[in-house]
Chain A
């Protein structure tokens, strides 16, 4: 084992966030930027997302996942980011020494700044506790997307989908187009988990029924799935008696949520947000550990890749600045989520720059406003014709608004 590789910025993860952070860190003048990716290709799940709709915010056009990914892959290569593929970070210390393992063996890296961009994983059957037998034919939506779109494998003929997350909705359409029958989508919540556009484009256009307040209470089949039992749930998620019904199928596809892959962050002892399950960050996406940054789905689960990209670009620039100068704006103003909002990110700001805040409402709302307040006074009121938990809200507040902050406290809430 040789001595540590000295780098200015180390980016952990080569998905959309890692690509954008690495490209901008290099673009902002960082000397040596290394992006560490466990897979044999970059792009995260973009290469398996062959539908279009990526890039409408960043490029004002609808690209496929592979196209979107290719742009950033070309960018990191042009700018001279080193991409280490098939490389897994096994340890990260607070003084930013990374232990990595790859087909070259064990290497250590000493980094000026580290960007955590590990993305997220899918919630599984075991995590949600679906009862029944354990046959073949139960898959997570993302895994099926890989099987179908990358490996050209058909997982089954007759499919029930549990959960209305975006990947599940997109896979419903994809499976129909590939010749499978999609019997229904069941969603335990009273509202869909995916964005409204996908409900229309992926379910309604293909006459696939969506059953809300409904879940799978039992999986059947000893060897392969032979069916599932659906049941309605009440307001406290308890099963409603007398609503059980058997649906014959050979495949159950799960799209029941995403979990940030924060294991390295937790091992480091970073301050974490119970609302996002990601790290708590300031306006520079700086975590509670100096020189360690976080962005993309490991920070907060995004539903639109463009926003992950934009967030990661800012993170990359901040990480480069920290690596080169050891300085970033002093974030002393606390931001807290008030009535109607699950969280607000970032948690602290300096007030010296405009900020793109991201947040999600607890429930669907129409014709309301998101209001930034300090000391009882309104700093900024933004009209929201439509808000839903499935859609991340991204709102910009100009720096002039922060002149009137009292006691370094801002509260953000939903008002009429």
Chain B
């Protein structure tokens, strides 16, 4: 793989893919280089999926600017890309009377940045809004919303790919040589040349910056663990339930968040780690998440947890300093021709559309380009059918019987949705590529039933068993056929003799 591009985007997270989509509006040659086997595999795929209002960030910050701008057109953005979005609102709950003054302070902060309809509500009003939630009062933030973060990330990437952007998966950037107008990005798959570079490498943005001679940043990965609750508990809350943010903490505190798929997620914790890939989950945090969430929502139990996962925040502030760290969205003098996007933690999802517009403007100042007539204004990654009316399902089945055959019973995902996920626009081939596009295996049985059937389908579509992976790279699913295993053992015994 090699080639000459106008712009090379390093990192296929939501920011990188939003930029790719914005640039696909123009006749530019754009490549996205992603080290993982699919997009949305880092911070962007594993977060709370919250479209923030801006209430938690200073009005005069870079974070504040892009958060507020991004939030404004997020709903339309999701509609264009067929991404689940729900303006479910948020309550920031004071557990005891002593936290009530903090709500007033938050309200003032929110109003300063222009958040509308903020209202302090008392215990009774909170109880009416959220009968299962305990609290002395709350700040009601009705404009807060949720969206499916990985569906958005994938839809941005696929629509960009369909519009002509080249996606290079399994392509880690190892080094960068050259200068503006003639950069060479070295990867295990060959050299990629580009006039301009966008550093949207998330947890590894400091390393990419160093490749172009910028040493001023260091990313401090901060892990956040989550628990997902069974969908049968999904209607216990109507809106997001947040605590009063812990002072000087790394995050907004452990919150109870509905997802657009009808689950509830608990989390995230905040633990600094040296390794941006260390997305383990721990027994200690599991207990802590359940204990803290149960204070607000006493009706949940450990038996409701279907699984746990971790996300990772790319923080620019170490734990020893703590508190607020701002986004970097700029081209710095040491490296002309490189747009640096560093420290894009929360609210990065909300900010992504606005950051993408800014980077598009920056690009076109340097490389004026005509409109791309092949730009995909709207996109649907996989036609979902779970929430469809029965009549519509009948029409779909008439078109393809695969729309009638439910393979993932827990999440009601059909064979057709899985086939569409297999035949994705990015040619991502892992089992997780199918999971994150179709939702199959995300339910309470975690793929116990449909997992083997999806593997059968993949093999039928030409995948060799030993090439199937969970997540690309060395995450092999099968060493081969049972015959291969027996032959290997036989040879081993012969050698031992």
Chain A contact residues, CB within 8 Å of chain B: 1, 38, 86, 88, 90, 99, 101-106, 121-122, 124-127, 129, 131-136, 140, 142-143, 146-148, 150-157, 178-180, 217-218, 222-224, 263, 266
Contact = CB atoms under 8 A, between A and B. Distances in A.
25 contacts: A38-B406, A38-B409, A88-B412, A104-B397, A105-B397, A121-B448, A122-B445, A122-B448, A126-B228, A126-B306, A129-B305, A131-B281, A131-B286, A136-B471, A136-B477, A146-B452, A147-B455, A151-B456, A153-B455, A153-B481, A178-B486, A179-B488, A179-B490, A218-B280, A222-B277
Contact of B482 (A132, A136, A178, A222): A178
Contacts of B303: 127
A157 B475 CA distance: 14
A143 B391 contact: no
Contacts of B232: 263, 266
B373 interface: no
Contacts of B471: 136, 223
B332 interface: no
Given A134-B279, A223-B475, 6 more contacts: A136-B469, A140-B448, A152-B481, A154-B480, A223-B476, A224-B475
A129 B285 CA distance: 11
Contact of A126 (B446, B475, B482): B446
Contacts of A104: 397, 401, 404
Contacts of A99: 390
Contacts of A156: 479
Closest 6 CB pairs of A and B: A126-B307, A179-B489, A103-B401, A136-B470, A154-B485, A223-B474
A129 B302 contact: yes
Contacts of A136: 469-471, 475-477
B321 interface: no
A412 B22 CA distance: 71
B62 to A, nearest CB: 33
B75 interface: no
A40 to B, nearest CB: 9
Contacts of B402: 103
B391 A1 contact: yes
B283 A129 contact: yes
B459 A125 contact: no
Nearest to A121: B445
A132 B447 contact: no
B398 interface: yes
B148 to A, nearest CB: 19
Interface in B297-334: 302-303, 305-309
B207 to A, nearest CB: 18
Interface residues of B, number: 62
Contact of A105 (B309, B398, B489): B398
Interface in B390-407: 390-391, 393-394, 397-398, 401-402, 404-406
Contact of A153 (B306, B401, B446, B482): B482
B188 interface: no
B307 A125 contact: yes
A218 B451 CA distance: 23
Interface string B435-475: 00000000011111101100110010000010001110111
B467 to A, nearest CB: 12
Contacts of A142: 448
Contacts of A179: 482, 485-490
Contacts of B476: 136, 223-224
B397 A154 contact: no
Given A131-B282, A217-B283, A125 B390 contact: no
B406 A88 contact: yes
B60 interface: no
B280 A133 contact: yes
B282 A135 contact: no
Nearest to A250: B479
A103 B400 CA distance: 8
B484 interface: yes
A194 B469 CA distance: 32
B73 interface: no
A103 B405 contact: yes
A38 B361 CA distance: 52
A86 B405 contact: yes
B448 A147 contact: no
A237 to B, nearest CB: 11
Given A106-B394, A124-B307, A224 B484 contact: no
A121 B100 CA distance: 46
B209 to A, nearest CB: 24
Contacts of B308: 126, 129
A152 B482 contact: yes
A103 B404 contact: yes
A223 B303 CA distance: 28
Nearest to A150: B452
Given A99-B390, A154-B484, A179-B490, A133 B279 contact: yes
A101 B406 contact: yes
B475 A135 contact: yes
Contacts of B309: 134
A143 B470 contact: no
Contact of B459 (A148, A151, A157): A151
A181 to B, nearest CB: 8
Contacts of A103: 397, 401-402, 404-405
A122 B471 CA distance: 23
Interface centre among A38, A140, A224 (most CB of B within 10 A): A224
B398 A121 contact: no
